[in-house]
Chain A
Amino acid sequence: MSGLEDLYREIILDHYKNPRNQGTLETPPAVVEQGYNPLCGDEVKVFLVVEDEIVKDIKIDGQGCSISRSSASLMSNAVKGKSVKDAQTTIRTFKKMLALKDEDDIDGETIEPINEHTVGELIALQGVVKFPVRIKCATLPWNTLTQALQSAMAK
């Protein structure tokens, strides 16, 4: 099962079985956005508290496959405590990693090269690229986070 090991890395299975930052937050003060993958019925809710342009808290709720759940869990770790701007950069870098954005320069902003140092644990999700149908699973929580950041900033 060589190809599979790229998809289901140890760390992914760990985040699937023990998802971090799971649960809900009271709205308000938190905002919540919901995302669906119409293909497979997966759904994810991202609860977010933003204060002084910092992601103070994030919780993930919903149901989904190992890829979408672990991606959400890794994402929550990656953005918690970051500034909104840095969180948005992380989203862009993540999407670049999944080859959804191949230009190095998006909106005049240079995106860091993809490696263990720049994306940390998120690198574990890079193997998803080899399984195109699963890219949607991996990006679902990130698209939902983008919306949640927008709603938080619009408040």
Chain B
Amino acid sequence: MANELMVDNILDQGVLDAQAIKNDFPIFKEVKQDPFVYLDSAASSQRPYSVIKSMDDYYRQTHANVHRGVYRIAEQATNLYENARCHLGKFLGAPHPELEIVFTKNATEAFNLFAQGYGRKFLSPRDVVLITKMEHHANIVPWMILKEQIGFELRFLDFDDDGQLILDDIEEKLKGVKILGVTMASNVLGTINPVKELTQMAHSVGAVVIADGAQYSPHFTTNVKDLGVDAYCTTAHKMLGPTGIGALWAKRSILQEMYPFLGGGEMIQNVTTEGFTTNDIPHKFEAGTPPIAEAVGLDAALTYLEGVSLTAIRAHELSLLTYAMDLMEERFGSRIKVFGPRDPKKRSGVISFELEGVHPHDVSQILDQEGVCVRAGHHCAKPLMTSLNVPATARASFYLYNTEEDVEALVAALERTEDFFK
């Protein structure tokens, strides 16, 4: 299947100066650790000075609650918050940015919102929700909770040795499916899934599609309209923004139909002793005081990403990824096993691996001693770990501020690790 999401020949488009970019990120100067080689951006990225400053300025100069006061700074705060919404909508290619972005705490809450808002309304016990075995728990457990509440079949798509979804029997798998949930890019394997094609197939059986963009939107240009999906989740802290804010994008018609999720202030139009009526979308889903400073920070993060350009970021990551995979192969051969697609072009900038004879926990411990930060564990993807038949993996992930020296530090630290456990 042609996967339209993989952009080929990207290497010669736009070169990015990672060392200069690093200088925009205070943590690389201020963290009390030398060397500090940060290779865990898939868990959470670092943030540039402009993001930190935007939030600081906001608290110093503008803060007031949104959508409530009529005084000037309250209106300014509301404008900043709504501008951030529009900016994220445009960043994702949403047809109606001001209506279709619901701010949440993170991507996880966005999935819970969709499961409880849409799933609970439209699923019945005879229906099927189809997800994949490479989903993050954020796109698994909300469906399991809902399944306990109303009962339906939760079905899984498998993947092959190259980390690609197995789609030979997709027609069979899609039988009875009302909702398809699929990750754009796997946080463990790096696989970039053919979501556009899958969406067309799902739509042909009348299913709606929710895509997990947590590992995609920080690294690739996103266009939800072109993808054709019905809903899309993302999270700010993986894309240079602050923690505490994420979003659900969904088509206007879908948001209008969804049940509200969290109840309280802001999401209502009227409340009497008899009941309530809901506010218009997207406010219908944003109960209570929202993460205003975080929205401001996210806005600045998107501006930064656009300034560098997602195309250049992808090209840079692809070159680091290729370099790292080649170097690991050259130095360790079969003693290192890299999970996921063998072709770097088919993956995002994460490398999960197993070093022969050394448990991932021990790998990350020794790497830490060498100043290299990688993640070890199940990466919130237990069904995926079970499919790979490993308890855990170590994972290095790249972003715009990583350099070839970072890759070399990783490989050197892995050599030390191997020596240590010899």
Which A residues contact B (CB, under 8 angstroms)? 1, 3-4, 7-8, 13, 39-43, 63-67, 69, 131, 134, 137
Going nearest first, the 3 A-B pairs with the smallest beta carbon separation are A65-B361, A41-B391, A65-B359
Stretch at the interface among B151-159, B262-270, B362-370: B362-370
Q: What distance in Å separates the Cβ of B368 from its nearest Cβ neighbour in chain A?
A: 9
The answer, yes or no, to whether B420 is at the interface (CB within 8 Å) is yes
Q: List 9 A-B contacts (CB under 8 A).
A: A1-B369, A3-B369, A4-B365, A40-B360, A40-B378, A41-B385, A43-B391, A65-B361, A134-B365
B392 within 8 A of A: yes
Could you say which residues of chain B place their CB within 8 Å of the CB of A41?
377-378, 382, 385, 391-392
B71 at interface by CB-CB < 8 Å: no
Interface size of B by CB at 8 A reads 17
B residues adjacent to A (C-beta < 8 A): 359-362, 365-366, 369, 376-378, 382, 385, 391-392, 416, 420-421
Q: How far is the CA of A131 from the CA of B365 in the complex (A)?
A: 9
Q: Are A40 and B421 in contact (CB under 8 A)?
A: no
Known contacts A4-B366, A40-B377, A41-B377; A13/B421 CB under 8 A: yes
**Chain A residues in 8 Å Cβ range of B420:** 1, 4, 8
Instruction: Indicate if the CB atoms of A66 and B362 lie closer than 8 Å.
Output: yes
C-alpha spacing A134/B359, complex, angstroms: 13
The answer for the CA separation of A13 and B422 in the assembled complex, in Å, is 10
Q: Complex Cα distance A25/B385, Å? A: 27
A64 near B391 with CB under 8 A, answer yes
| CA A41 to CA B359, docked complex, whole Å | 11
Residues of A with C-beta under 8 A to B421 = 13, 66
State which of B359, B376, B378 has its C-beta within 8 Å of the C-beta of A66: B359
A42 pairs with B365, CB closer than 8 A: no
A7 to B359, CA, bound (A): 15
Residues on A with beta carbons closer than 8 Å to the beta carbon of B362 = 8, 65-67
Q: Shortest distance in angstroms between B6's beta carbon and chain A's nearest beta carbon?
A: 30
Residues of B contacting A67 with CB < 8 Å?
Answer: 361-362
User: Which residues does chain A contribute within 8 Å of B382, judged by CB atoms?
Assistant: 41
Asked if A39 and B377 sit within 8 Å, CB to CB, the answer is: yes
For A137, list chain B residues within 8 Å (CB): 361
A41 to B375, CA, bound (A): 13
Known contacts A39-B377, A40-B377, A41-B385; is A63 also within 8 Å of B391 by CB? yes
Q: How far is the CA of A43 from the CA of B420 in the complex (A)?
A: 24
Q: Which residues of A contact B392 (CB under 8 A)?
A: 40-42
A43–B392 alpha-carbon span in the complex (Å) = 11
The distance in angstroms between the C-alpha atoms of A137 and B360, with both chains bound, is: 13
